[in-house]
Structure 1
Amino acid sequence: MGAMTSSSDVQPLPIRDESIRLGQALKLASLVEDGAMARDVVQDGMVSVNGEVETRRGRQLHDGDVVEFNGEEIVVEAGQS
């Protein structure tokens, strides 16, 4: 762990609105199976946003925010349809 991935490994996560909650983003990106799993991994400090550990499942993510969990990274692309 701790190895940085190259930007080509970051998966885009298009969202319709200007923001999305962290727990919803994890589900939408299929990084977790359901809301309960999202809550658990976030509360356990296993998810980072923009390189910092985030323990709030309701954290609002905006365009350009990068979420990392379990070796996978996603970048929020807000305002996409």
Structure 2
Amino acid sequence: MTKTDTIKLDQYLKFIGVAPTGGQAKLLIQDGHVQVNGETEIRRGRQLVTGDRVTVLGRSYQVRL
């Protein structure tokens, strides 16, 4: 796996349009509103890979890199 095969959680939230800024992505994550593969994730630097499922405020997204 190369570095391009991953994306940080906060960057992904911006990429899919859930958070317009990095600051808002950080708040969503820190406040416990984000789950990765069914587990609440509070690390905004969490590395995501293709196939991960991210759920934000009840809406789910499948990671495709």
TM (norm. structure 1) is 0.73
Q: Secondary structure at the match of 1:77?
A: coil
The answer to which structure has the higher helix fraction is 2
Higher deviation after alignment, 66-75 or 43-52: 66-75
Q: Secondary structure at the match of 1:57?
A: coil
Say whether 1:75 aligns with 2:62: yes
| Partner residue, 2:9 | 22
Number of paired residues? 62
Q: Which has the higher contact order (CA 8 A, sep 6+)?
A: 1
| Partner residue, 1:56 | 43
Amino acid at match of 1:49: V
Q: What runs of 5+ residues in structure 1 fail to find an aligned partner?
A: 1-16
RMSD: 0.8
Distance in 2, Cα, partners of 1:58 & 1:46? 15
Q: What runs of 5+ residues in structure 2 fail to find an aligned partner?
A: none
TM (norm. structure 2) is 0.90
